Amino acid sequence: LMAIGHTPDWASSLAPAISPAGVVNAASFAGAASSPGSIVSVFGSFPLYAPVQAPGLPLPPSLAGVSVNFGGFPAPVFFAAGSQVNLQIPWELAGQPQATVTATGWGQSGATQTVNLAPFSPGIFSINGQGSGPGVIEDAAYRLVDSSNPAAPGSLVTIYCTGLGAVTNQPPTGSPAPVSPLAETTTRPIVLMGGAPAGVQFSGLAPGLAGVYQVNALVPAGSATGNAVPVTISMGGIASNTVTIAVQSAR
């Protein structure tokens, strides 16, 4: 019989392992620093046989027995698979320069890592999920802006992103953003489309979602046109990844 208190060899192999520099922005995959309230992807090895998604909001602190402790707080989990866990960095870590991260699976904890935190870590979501190419951008009718539905100069578009920092009317960690009053960012972003500044009408958390921000901006009259006009968002001097938007020629 197994001795009391002894961990069998097969059980130790179930301990999750976070890859070196494995905590990255879930939209841009940048790994320099992450901001509280944002969505990150944690890459490594996790004891899961099949991917699991959170059933809804508020997000659970674990999925299929896999959890991640982020700076002493259980991080709400969106998605978990054998090599990746997507989670929200707890809002409670605001103002901290670093945080320890430890993954646990089936009762076994992996090695602790330290990650850098920052007030802003802007990342724009892309259609391909890789942080490049066409961005997740909608028109005023909530239709995806793409080559078959290009945005017109002067029209309002919504850019979906994460990592834009502190907000007013902040929701609890893992909970959906409020509808009224809206949770607006306390810092105004700078949006560039085709190298021209876009007029920001709103910047804050997307209502009903967790960790997702939206920036409503006017496509500048001086923007470049075509199916792959570059778009970036800067917060506090930190620039996002570059995605593209389809912009039709002015008529």
pLDDT for residue 13: 61
CB within 8 Å of 56: residues ≥ 6 apart: none
Torsion sign, CA atoms 35, 40, 46, 49:
positive
Residues 115-169: pLDDT tens digits? 999 999 999 999 999 999 999 999 999 999 999 999 999 999 999 999 999 999 9
pLDDT for residue 249: 87
pLDDT for residue 1: 33
pLDDT for residue 223: 86
Residues 171-212: pLDDT tens digits? 999 999 999 999 999 999 999 999 999 999 999 999 999 999
**Closest-CA residue to 159 (of 244, 205, 216, 225):** 216
Terminus-to-terminus CA distance in the chain, angstroms? 81
**Closest-CA residue to 190 (of 233, 159, 147):** 233
CA 56 to chain centre: 17
pLDDT for residue 9: 47
Q: How far apart are CA 187 and CA 201, in angstroms?
A: 13
pLDDT for residue 6: 40
* pTM attached to this predicted model: 0.94
> ∠37-127-148 over CA atoms, to 5°?
135
Is 50 exceeded by the pLDDT of residue 3? Answer: no
Q: Please state, in angstroms and as integers, the Cα–Cα distance from residue 234 to each residue in 28, 123, 162, following that order.
A: 13, 9, 12
Is 80 exceeded by the pLDDT of residue 99? Answer: yes
- 230 in Cβ contact with 114 (< 8 Å): no
Q: Please state, in angstroms and as integers, the Cα–Cα distance from residue 62 to each residue in 27, 104, 121, following that order.
A: 21, 9, 24
Please state, for a pLDDT cut of 90, what percent of the chain lies above it. Answer: 90
- 95 in Cβ contact with 212 (< 8 Å): no
Is 60 exceeded by the pLDDT of residue 2? Answer: no
State the average pLDDT over residues 73-79.
98
Residues 7-66: pLDDT tens digits? 344 444 679 999 999 999 999 999 999 999 999 999 999 999 999 999 999 999 999 999
Is 90 exceeded by the pLDDT of residue 5? Answer: no
pLDDT for residue 10: 44
Is 90 exceeded by the pLDDT of residue 4? Answer: no
pLDDT for residue 14: 74
Strand 39-45 vs strand 17-25: parallel, antiparallel, or unpaired?
Answer: antiparallel
State the average pLDDT over residues 212-225.
95
State the average pLDDT over residues 82-107.
97
Q: Please state, in angstroms and as integers, the Cα–Cα distance from residue 149 to each residue in 152, 193, 228, 250, following that order.
A: 9, 17, 13, 14
